[in-house]
Chains A and B, each alone.
Chain A
Amino acid sequence: MSSKKKLDAARKNLSKHLQDALMLELSTIPPYATACYSILEQGQYDRSEPTIVNAEPIEVIRQVMVEEMLHMVLAANVMNAIGGTPQLNNPNLLPKYPTELLNGAGPEVRLRKFSPKQVKSFRKIETAPKDLRGALRGEYSTIGGFYAYVRKLLEDACKEFGDKEIFIGDPARQISNDDYFGAGGEVVEITGTPAQRRKAAFEAIQKIMEEGEGADLGGKAGDGDTIPGPAEHEDIAHYFKFNEILHSRYYRPDDLVTDPPTGDDLIVDWSAVSPMKDDPSEENYESAPEIAAISTEFNAAWSGLLDGLHIAFNEDKSALRDLVPTMYSIKSLAQKLMRIPLPDGSGETAGPTWTYLAPKKRG
């Protein structure tokens, strides 16, 4: 193979894995969001004290979710830096639930209501690999292992072909803190000289790994990142955030990963939750046109979000800002679905299916 061909092949392989990374981050958002939205809000259940009992677990899951969004932006930045084309609205690549992450090699993710079972499955998603040796050969079954492999692919490519040949993407495509909400941490822009871009790219990948499973951090629950605000507390890696919910107790950043959390109480009420059907699908709504209509409305909003992200990563960064109202509609439509009992008499409610619809099918 000529070196040009080899370079093309390496770049293609990198792009493919970064596209997988994008889809990986994206795949976690619907299950997390579904669990969050299934939690009943104030006024939707009887309590003598009319307060949001589950405000804390909602916030914990939401924090993980916004960090996944940040990771998606970081993955897109790396991909754009090497001249790839991030695809966000290709129905062939988008997740269909239930699904197994990492093209079947990773943990299963399902669309379920907020429950201990579901939070345990979230914890599994964010489990750190015990050993990276297999992962570095491409045999990974965890997100951490996958990113370790991506990092190695990038390292190898840079070594073999030189940074200049790898970082050929248009710097104008880099999402910056000016464009992105900034929640969950700062965006890493991959700009400058080829060497600077290589450094930034590794920084971005490292950030994704640390915030996710807390890999490589010396057995502490902290993720090395600071929670915004004057207190400068260290944030907790995702795995431990889910563990906080299961233990009804917050971690301290220097708690050991082998021990249970030792921080303040975190109040969880597993009963104040909509009884949403597990893994709802469009077939469930065939006999209920009213539900189907709302589901279509939801899917149209979700598809609009994906289209907007695709435009933001590929053409016009300012499209990101316009997605804020779309995210609000997604939330409100999802909650609307979860308030409607299914006609099958099971007592379960409908739920969002997170299906991408072609523009013509959006009603």
Chain B
Amino acid sequence: MSAIADDERTYDVVIVGAGFAGGILAKELVSAGHSVLILEAGEDHGKTWETYRSYLDQYYLSLAKTPNSPYPNLPTLPSPSVLDITAVRGTEPDTNGYFVQRGPLPFGSNYLMAFGGTSLHWLGTSLRMMPADFEMQSRFGKGVDWPFGYQDLRADYERAEWEIGVSADADEQTPKALGIRTSGRHDNVGYFDKEYDYPMHSIPSSYVDGFFAKADGMPIEIGEDATSTVHLKVSRTPQGRNSTPRTPKTAKGIQVGEKRRQQFRPRGATGPFAYMGQRCEGNSSCIPICPIQAKYNAMKTLEDAKHKAKHQMETITQAIASKVELTESGRVSGIVYKKYPFPGVPQHELRRARGKQYVLAGGAVENVTLALASGICTSSDELGRNLMDHPYMMTWGAAPEPVGPFRGPGSTSSYANFRDGNFRNKNAAFRLEIGNWGWNFAAGSPNSDVARLVEQDNLYGTALRDKLYHDVQRQVRIGTMVEQLPRATNRVTIDPAYRTPMGEYRPVISYDLDDYSRAGLAAANDTCAQIFQRLGIKNHTSYSPSDAGYLTYDGKGYTFFGAGHLVGTHRIGTDRHNSVTNDEMRAWDHDNLWLVGAGSMPTIATSNPTLTMSAMAFRAARAIQKAVRKGGAK
């Protein structure tokens, strides 16, 4: 191999990945006066308006509007796609897509390698975890405890909510207000700081939400314990999209972390489209793309970071981090990356980035493949293990009256009742997300309805339009997201037999759902059936053994998908034997290396991981600042 060219400048911090975590880290570190380099594998885009418009064009033209459909998918830099998921049969791995799937169940989630990362197509759900979620082992004898508790992360949650710009009302979001019978008696106490509130008011509830709220108060038995019976309640979901900014109650402002903040100013689109997106307009395409960027994406934070100090912040795109190099003492000495000039062409130049501190923030899977390929973080043998996701099961039906679907964000409310409770010693907790887009995800509506009515029912003209309107207007869907426990056998590995055209390792994934999660799915399915019955919804749900994500539990079959919530592969912990990093996300094995992102989370619980991961990025940023300062003094 020819010599590797070193980059001229040595930075305080080198970050791999320009997504949620990388953006927050960069902004915090640059604000503290440190120099930052971000290496982003994705195609050079997102910086000019043309690229975002080209995403939109691509979205409009895509026949299957999957989460990754608007974005570039280079043969040389494949991102996992939901279209690649097939059942894994026998011992032969499924190599259809970017992932090499060893099964026994297919891992159904995706992410995006691009400037802005998966934030480009997230839904925007910004939930905090429950206090119990940090103590799964001590409360229920399941999984592991976190090295810190909910209260230790609370101030970082506040910072993350103000960075992302979350729309919600604190008094609606306490466990008690959500109708959760918490497993701990005091979990509701101090869930929010008294002086705190979200930066913007809740996104208004949809008409569909109002329809489901008719079942509020209905008792649902969950678990064996009568005290676990909950009373259904539709509650609004905190969302990272712009609504009306909150006027602080007093002139002092709102307490966020250690700072007092005045009224939040909604951040619209990046670049020259700054006049767009300061409010959500209900374009109803949050996944895969918000046309006006009213939904938060990491490009906003990255742009902020750039403007904090222009010369302190450098981003190199089309730069695939390939190897983390170590000195003999085990410190990281550089990151070798492949800089490719032409997207889609494997030709590249090998370069080396240097810094005082190094951060892997490329997501739970990419962080692992890079670390494994570099032979680092090996001592705990936890690297790559404990892969978790939210198995996502859908239940859909026809409401007895028109409910106005296909309007507003993908989901504005949920039944949060089942996010905690004493039942968690037996079966997994879950959240029931109320969908606003009819059977879109479930059955490809409304396009599939047109095909069905034309081809099967021979309808055309006015009759077709009337029937279509009649059917589509009644479509409702509930999405179940159930928690998974960390398991050593659910893991990401690498295998020299499977590489990308650039010569990088493809992730090899083994994945299964244990009975704890399956019991949760079954309980959720039963709950949905009861809700449908109460509301007179005709159930159209069908699960088929030919579905890729088909599984059985207790004699019944279910189909699950991935939720795109990739968690747990480089978890934090109390010592070098049970975890990859310490509670500040610093690698146990390598003093100046940090692994940050949803991979750091020891358990996934029932909240979409973005907000927790973002809060943890603030925690890591403080520790990295300290490390840079200490290193500089030497």
A residues contacting B by CB (< 8 A) are 42-43, 50-52, 55-56, 59, 62-63, 66, 177-178, 181-184, 227-232, 321, 324-325, 328
Judge whether B307 and A231 touch: CB under 8 Å.
yes
- Tell me if B304 is interfacial: C-beta within 8 Å of chain A: yes
Can you offer 20 A-B residue contacts whose CB atoms are under 8 A? A42-B57, A42-B60, A51-B57, A55-B49, A59-B273, A63-B275, A177-B245, A177-B263, A178-B244, A178-B245, A182-B266, A183-B268, A183-B278, A228-B265, A228-B268, A228-B274, A230-B303, A230-B307, A231-B307, A232-B307
Provided the pairs A52-B53, A52-B57, A229-B268 are in contact, do residues A181 and B278 lie with their beta carbons within 8 angstroms? yes
Provided the pairs A51-B57, A184-B275 are in contact, do residues A229 and B282 lie with their beta carbons within 8 angstroms? no
Min distance, Cβ A315 to any Cβ of chain B, angstroms? 19
Min distance, Cβ B50 to any Cβ of chain A, angstroms? 8
Provided the pairs A66-B275, A228-B274 are in contact, do residues A51 and B303 lie with their beta carbons within 8 angstroms? no
A227–B303 alpha-carbon span in the complex (Å): 14
Min distance, Cβ B304 to any Cβ of chain A, angstroms? 5
- Tell me if B589 is interfacial: C-beta within 8 Å of chain A: no
Min distance, Cβ A283 to any Cβ of chain B, angstroms? 29
A50 interface neighbour in B49, B61, B266, B272, Cβ under 8 Å: B61
Shortest Cβ distance from B304 into A: residue: A230
Judge whether A59 and B272 touch: CB under 8 Å.
yes
Report the 5 A-B pairs with minimum CB-CB distance, sorted nearest first.
A230-B307, A229-B274, A230-B304, A227-B274, A228-B274
Provided the pairs A50-B61, A52-B53 are in contact, do residues A229 and B303 lie with their beta carbons within 8 angstroms? yes
Shortest Cβ distance from B273 into A: residue: A59
A85–B282 alpha-carbon span in the complex (Å): 32
Judge whether B61 and A325 touch: CB under 8 Å.
no
Shortest Cβ distance from B280 into A: residue: A324
Chain A neighbourhood of B53, CB < 8 A: 51-52, 55
Judge whether B274 and A181 touch: CB under 8 Å.
no
A7–B620 alpha-carbon span in the complex (Å): 65
Chain B neighbourhood of A232, CB < 8 A: 307
New A-B contacts (7) at CB < 8 Å, excluding given A42-B57, A228-B268, A230-B306: A43-B61, A59-B276, A182-B279, A227-B275, A228-B274, A229-B274, A325-B282
* B255-291 residues at the A interface, CB under 8 angstroms: 263, 265-268, 270, 272-276, 278-279, 281-282
Shortest Cβ distance from A231 into B: residue: B307
A52–B57 alpha-carbon span in the complex (Å): 7
Min distance, Cβ B315 to any Cβ of chain A, angstroms? 15
Chain A neighbourhood of B304, CB < 8 A: 230
Provided the pairs A183-B275, A228-B278 are in contact, do residues A51 and B267 lie with their beta carbons within 8 angstroms? no
Shortest Cβ distance from A230 into B: residue: B307
Min distance, Cβ A308 to any Cβ of chain B, angstroms? 16
A181–B279 alpha-carbon span in the complex (Å): 7
Chain A neighbourhood of B489, CB < 8 A: none
A182 interface neighbour in B49, B278, B282, Cβ under 8 Å: B278
A63–B307 alpha-carbon span in the complex (Å): 23
Shortest Cβ distance from B279 into A: residue: A181
Min distance, Cβ A172 to any Cβ of chain B, angstroms? 15
Chain B neighbourhood of A59, CB < 8 A: 272-273, 275-276
Chain B neighbourhood of A178, CB < 8 A: 244-245, 247
Provided the pairs A43-B60, A178-B245 are in contact, do residues A229 and B54 lie with their beta carbons within 8 angstroms? no
Chain A neighbourhood of B56, CB < 8 A: 52
Chain A neighbourhood of B303, CB < 8 A: 229-231
User: A-facing mask of B305-319, CB < 8 A → 1, else 0?
Assistant: 011100000000000
Min distance, Cβ A46 to any Cβ of chain B, angstroms? 14
A325–B279 alpha-carbon span in the complex (Å): 13
Shortest Cβ distance from A184 into B: residue: B275
Chain A neighbourhood of B306, CB < 8 A: 230
Chain B neighbourhood of A51, CB < 8 A: 53-54, 57
Shortest Cβ distance from B272 into A: residue: A59
Chain B neighbourhood of A55, CB < 8 A: 49, 53
Chain B neighbourhood of A63, CB < 8 A: 275
Min distance, Cβ A158 to any Cβ of chain B, angstroms? 28
A321–B243 alpha-carbon span in the complex (Å): 11
A324 interface neighbour in B247, B274, B282, B308, Cβ under 8 Å: B282
Provided the pairs A51-B54, A181-B279 are in contact, do residues A229 and B267 lie with their beta carbons within 8 angstroms? yes
